[in-house]
Amino acid sequence: MAITAEIRVGADKLDLPVIVGSEGEVGIDIGTLRDKTGAITLDPGYGNTGAGESAITFLDGELGILRYRGYPIEQLAGSASFLEVSWLLLKGELPTAAELANLIAAERANRAVPDHVQAVLAACPQNTHPMAMLASCIVTLSSSHSDEDDAIAGLPANQLRLMAQLPVIAAYIYRRSQGLPLVPPDSERDYAANFLHMMFAGTGKQSDDVAIANAMDLLFILHADHEQNCSTSTVRLVGSSQADYFASVAAGVCALWGPLHGGANQAVVEMLDEIVHRGGKVDWVVAQAKDKASGFRLMGFGHRVYKNFDPRAKLIKVQADVVLDKLGKDDEQLDLAIGLEHAALADEYFVQRKLYPNVDFYSGIIYRAMGFPQEMFTVLFAIGRLPGWTAHWNEHNAGKARIGRPRQIYTGRNARDFVPLQAR
């Protein structure tokens, strides 16, 4: 039976069309609401607002389901590479063997970043946050990669180049911040292995272990897309003004930076450090998180959409064991995190609000064990999220997209006459 929606605003009654998605999600199309009734909807935080239709990622927060283009994240994480998943997100289908071989070769051949990126990095003060440097480098790439119509290996040239160069830029950011000599990309190594090599070669940290590179690749897959999250919505919104691709992605990087979004992985590790510093007891953190007056939140817990376990958190938790085991590390933080998870999940406050560990809860522990400093954690998230941002930018711009421009309910002063300076 077709679903219908009826809305009354004062004396006006309006029948509204209802859109049903391929997984049965229901959206009321309010496109005529203001014209017909003069009213708008009000939804701060957009918890009830669909920004549009999308065929890229499906997630069911109640059941803890995440699928890219229909494929469950658990299957992709177990069987595909990050480049394969990137192609899937961008093109809609898994690559054939020939398509994947072309993509791998093209990614390896396009890693060299333009010279001016070095100048941008050199101009940043030493203590600049890596996310600020990342956004700055990306936005300046628009000056050197302007051939928007070209394609490389079946992908828009700009997009393929950014995918190839983002890990290189990230490694440069890190090595500069440490005063280390830059390591050039190695075209014999695949995406994640080359990144670890460029980051850590000559530092005494693990730079060429296959299991660690596989874990890095998996972490990129788990971060690759998450439908209309804050940074992806930002990329779509900026792109809707027909700003160029690099500007849109740089805006996404800035949105990701915040501690309520991608910056949470850094905040989790800082929180765990603080617990260790205070003697290793988790009870006070749980108590503080429950106390609204403290303004403190349990970092890595809760999600706008997931009201059940974040499926990515489950996969990352398993990976944390693999990586720590491989590196021979007995991480006090991992034990603490597990203890904190148990304490929170047994607490009525978290149970009632359906607050579960999210993707950021365990990822920082792995990154730290691998040797990444905390400030780089969100950069790793950005590398993983790039194919998702790009797929959404393409989808939005390919459709009949209007410029994104929310309305508001004005609550300020009514009209009044200007008061000359001498009369105030």
Q: Which residues are part of the catalytic machinery?
A: 303, 360
300 binds ligand ACO (CB under 6 A): yes
Residue range at the interface with ligand ACO (CB under 6 A); choices 19-27, 110-118, 203-211, 354-362: 354-362
Site for ligand ACO in 253-272 (CB under 6 A): 260-262, 264
Smallest distance, Å, CB 353 to ligand ACO? Answer: 4
* Token digits of residue 266: 């850094």
The correct pick among 205, 297, 314, 326 for binding ligand ACO (CB under 6 A) is 297
Q: Nearer Cβ to ligand ACO, position 91 or 290?
A: 290
Smallest distance, Å, CB 103 to ligand ACO? Answer: 26
**Angle of CA points 49, 57, 309, to nearest 5°:** 85
Between CA 372 and CA 382 the distance in angstroms is 14
Q: Nearer Cβ to ligand ACO, position 261 or 326?
A: 261
The correct pick among 319, 358, 363, 378 for binding ligand ACO (CB under 6 A) is 358
Between CA 325 and CA 118 the distance in angstroms is 37
Total residues binding ligand ACO (CB under 6 A): 19
The correct pick among 257, 360, 363, 376 for binding ligand ACO (CB under 6 A) is 360
What phi and psi, each to the nearest 5 degrees, are found at residue 14? -135, 130
* Token digits of residue 370: 């691998």
Amino acid letter, residue 91? K
Q: Nearer Cβ to ligand ACO, position 120 or 289?
A: 289
Between CA 194 and CA 189 the distance in angstroms is 5
Q: Nearer Cβ to ligand ACO, position 142 or 378?
A: 378
* Bridge partners for 8 per DSSP: 13
Contacts of 383 (CB under 8 A, 6+ apart): 166, 167, 170, 195, 220
Q: 89 with 71: CB under 8 angstroms?
A: no
303 binds ligand ACO (CB under 6 A): yes
Residue 221's nearest CA partner among 76, 31, 24 is 76
Binding string, residues 42-81; x marks residues near ligand ACO by CB under 6 A: ---x------------------------------------
Q: Nearer Cβ to ligand ACO, position 292 or 424?
A: 292
Q: Nearer Cβ to ligand ACO, position 195 or 362?
A: 362
Smallest distance, Å, CB 248 to ligand ACO? Answer: 19
Amino acid letter, residue 353? R
Residue 245's nearest CA partner among 396, 106, 382 is 396
Residue range at the interface with ligand ACO (CB under 6 A); choices 66-74, 164-172, 188-196, 300-308: 300-308
Element (H, E) at 313: helix 311-326
CA 392 to chain centre: 12
Report which residue's Cβ sits closest to ligand ACO.
302
Smallest distance, Å, CB 381 to ligand ACO? Answer: 7
Residue 298's nearest CA partner among 345, 332, 232, 363 is 345
The correct pick among 116, 278, 342, 353 for binding ligand ACO (CB under 6 A) is 353
Smallest distance, Å, CB 129 to ligand ACO? Answer: 18
Residue range at the interface with ligand ACO (CB under 6 A); choices 7-15, 70-78, 272-280, 294-302: 294-302
Smallest distance, Å, CB 333 to ligand ACO? Answer: 16
The 10 Å Cβ neighbour count of residue 75 is: 11
Between CA 421 and CA 424 the distance in angstroms is 6
355 binds ligand ACO (CB under 6 A): yes
* Token digits of residue 373: 């400093």
Between CA 307 and CA 64 the distance in angstroms is 8
**Angle of CA points 217, 219, 225, to nearest 5°:** 105
359 binds ligand ACO (CB under 6 A): yes
302 binds ligand ACO (CB under 6 A): yes
User: Which residues of this protein are in contact with ligand ACO, per CB under 6 A?
Assistant: 45, 260-262, 264, 289, 297-304, 353, 355, 358-360
